[in-house]
Amino acid sequence: MDPYRYRPSSAFNTPFLTNNQGGPVYNNTSSLTIGNRGPVLLEDYHLVEKIANFHRERIPERIVHARGASAKGYFEVTHDITHLTCADFLRGVGVQTPLIVRFSTVIHEKGSPETIPDPRGFAVKFYTREGNFDMVGNNIPVFFVRDAMQFPDVIHALKPNPKSNIQEFWRIMDYLSYIPESTHMFMWWFDDWGIPSDYRHMEGFAVHTFKLINRDGKETYVKWHWKPTCGLKFLLEDEAAAVAGQNHSHATKDLYDTIASGSFPEWRLYVQTMNPADEDKLDFDPLDTTKIWPEDLFPLQPVGRMVLNKNIDNFFNENEQLAFSPGVVPPGIYYSNDKMLQCRIFAYGDTQRHRLGPNYLLLPVNAPKCAHHNNHHEGAMNFTHRDEEVNYWPSRFNAVRVSEKFPISKSHVSGIREKTVIAKENNFQQPGERYRSWDPDRQERFIGRMAKALSDPRLTHEIRSIWLSYMSQSDKSLGQKLAARLNMKAAM
Ligand code: HEM
């Protein structure tokens, strides 16, 4: 008998119901009782197993990005960038790599509406021949903070009040009043950009600076940028309210229905590149997650296209159990010293070991699609089939070798230990530039949203004054208009 013939599967390999042990079930509607009216007997193995299984159907939600939709497809290289990177999946024009994408909202729970003003997650897992590559970004190119030490605080402030379970702007504006660099994030979040119409009509950004390394070991800073071929669309507040009133999963449905109809959403991937030798020449720090790299200085260069042409088969397996990490990079791509990114390299695997268990990388959706081999084994719920006696390395009984050496980042790092902020904060220039790029109606809508948030009755005069000062430092007329809305004196 082949013990691996019947793997657990919902594709019924018998027309008869069985329990999880494979035993026949002759009655799936009535509990085993004494007499017709009960009591129920605990010896009803099938009843106990069925109810116990049901009790365990849910796993912990993601602490952030709990609400999401995923789809599968492929990436195809359209432009040669082998002068920048030796990454195998970028080895030549026409090369295709299978992938899975998960789009998400950030703050609210798994069943929350997809119409709220919130950043949207844009996470792509490429199953390359040299292992997985996860590009775990958002639809906004900057972030609230630039140091991971502040991440739990910013998320706590944005999440519902732990007492009332209601998201409250006095908490958000209070906390972020200590974070002047968050002003730039408001220029996206409180802009029309804050509510994408659905997941197909939004851009994606890896946000952090990464490094590309070519086969000669040359390093180039890179920022990744996705643009949808069907253009951008946003919902204004009244439109969002109308959509939410009809369907709180409208964006998931839009993605699913579009793919099912045979019309496949597509994004183009671009890079912005910078010579690391130039990083000190700018008036901002290019590794700062609260900054963009201006496109006139660092033009977008096309790399490839992503096509989503297949819906997932099962939401739990291919969405809830899906696990991304910005630490997952193939040879030819590496991290920069960005402080946020450095912590994220640790954070995702850590939460996934808690959320999904220590063997989360054995789950089919997370496992690499190339041959892989190591001696990390056993642990809870390990379902690999290992038929071998040598589980250590090296061994003269086992031919497994390390891979050929690939170019790694060699940049020199030195300094003293310190806990400080970066030198070039430059918190208000880019927010001001973005505000001035909008037409007057769009500026008015932004001011309206800021004024609404700052009108929360629990906010103090001091906190409102701090925000007026941040807005005035970004753009003087913005500060004056906001002050007029709030019946306050404009900051100098
Ligand atoms: C140090 C700062 C950050 C920390 C500690 C952090 C932590 C986390 C954690 C714990 C999760 C849940 C993962 C899971 O349960 O599988 C998550 C999800 C996510 N984060 Fe972050 N995050 C940080 C910053 C960012 C930034 C800057 C971005 C955007 C560039 C981002 C994008 C995402 C996305 C898209 C997801 C959802 C991935 C999915 O769809 O499964 N995060 N983050």
Tens-place pLDDT, residues 133-185: 999 999 999 999 999 999 999 999 999 999 999 999 999 999 999 999 999 99
- The residue to mutate among 125, 136, 185, 350, having the most atoms of ligand 1 within 8 angstroms of its beta carbon, is 136
Task: Give nearest CA residue, ligand 1 atom 24.
Answer: 344
Does a cis peptide bond (omega within 30 degrees of 0) precede residue 39? yes
Q: Does the annotation mark 161 as catalytic?
A: no
What is the pLDDT at residue 97?
A: 98
Task: Give nearest CA residue, ligand 1 atom 23.
Answer: 344
* Res. 220: pLDDT tops 70: yes
What is the pLDDT at residue 109?
A: 97
What is the pLDDT at residue 385?
A: 85
* Res. 241: pLDDT tops 90: yes
Do residues 46 and 19 make contact, with C-beta atoms less than 8 angstroms apart?
A: yes
64 Cα: distance to centroid of ligand 1 (angstroms): 7
Residue 21: pLDDT band by 50, 70, 90 thresholds? confident
Do residues 91 and 130 make contact, with C-beta atoms less than 8 angstroms apart?
A: no
User: In the 8-state DSSP scheme, what is residue 316?
Assistant: I
Residue 32: pLDDT band by 50, 70, 90 thresholds? very high
What is the pLDDT at residue 259?
A: 98
Is the CB of residue 65 below 6 angstroms from any atom belonging to ligand 1?
yes
147 Cα: distance to centroid of ligand 1 (angstroms): 14
- Cα(148)–Cα(379) distance, rounded to whole angstroms? 30
Q: Which of 138, 319, 359, 366 is catalytic?
A: 138
What is the pLDDT at residue 14?
A: 75
Q: Strand, helix or coil at 38?
A: coil
325 Cα: distance to centroid of ligand 1 (angstroms): 8
Contacting residues for 428 by C-beta, under 8 A, at least 6 apart = 180, 183, 470, 473, 474
Closest among 324, 336, 395 to 361, alpha carbons compared = 324
Task: Give nearest CA residue, ligand 1 atom 28.
Answer: 137
The dihedral built from the CA positions of residue 157, 160, 161 and 167, taken in this order, carries a sign that is positive
Ligand 1 atom nearest to 148, measured from its CA = 1
Q: Flag the least confident range among 96-100, 139-143, 485-489.
A: 485-489
Q: Which two tokens stand for residue 191?
A: 């802009």
Q: Which of 46, 65, 201, 250 is catalytic?
A: 65
Read off the pTM: 0.96
Q: Does the annotation mark 398 as catalytic?
A: no
What is the pLDDT at residue 9?
A: 65
Average confidence (pLDDT) over 451-463: 98
| Residue found by looking up tokens 């009509």 in the block | 201
348 Cα: distance to centroid of ligand 1 (angstroms): 7
Q: Strand, helix or coil at 69?
A: strand
Closest among 462, 442, 439, 464 to 453, alpha carbons compared = 464
Residue 197: pLDDT band by 50, 70, 90 thresholds? very high
Mean pLDDT taken over the chain: 96
- Cα(211)–Cα(333) distance, rounded to whole angstroms? 6
Is the CB of residue 150 below 6 angstroms from any atom belonging to ligand 1?
no
* Res. 22: pLDDT tops 90: no
Average confidence (pLDDT) over 454-472: 98
- Alpha-carbon distance values, 140 to 125, 146, 185, 269, 281 (Å): 19, 14, 8, 15, 25
305 Cα: distance to centroid of ligand 1 (angstroms): 24
3-class secondary structure per residue, 393-454 = CCCCCCCCCCCCCCCCCCCCCCCCCCCCCCCCCCCCHHHHHHHHCCCHHHHHHHHHHHHHHH
Average confidence (pLDDT) over 20-43: 95
The dihedral built from the CA positions of residue 158, 159, 165 and 167, taken in this order, carries a sign that is positive
Residue 72 pairs in a beta bridge with 100, 310
Is the CB of residue 177 below 6 angstroms from any atom belonging to ligand 1?
no
- Cα(417)–Cα(219) distance, rounded to whole angstroms? 25
Tell me the residue type at 256.
Answer: Y
Residue 33 phi/psi, 5-degree rounding, is -130, 165
What is the pLDDT at residue 2?
A: 66
Is the CB of residue 345 below 6 angstroms from any atom belonging to ligand 1?
no
What is the pLDDT at residue 489?
A: 86
Ligand 1 atom nearest to 347, measured from its CA = 5
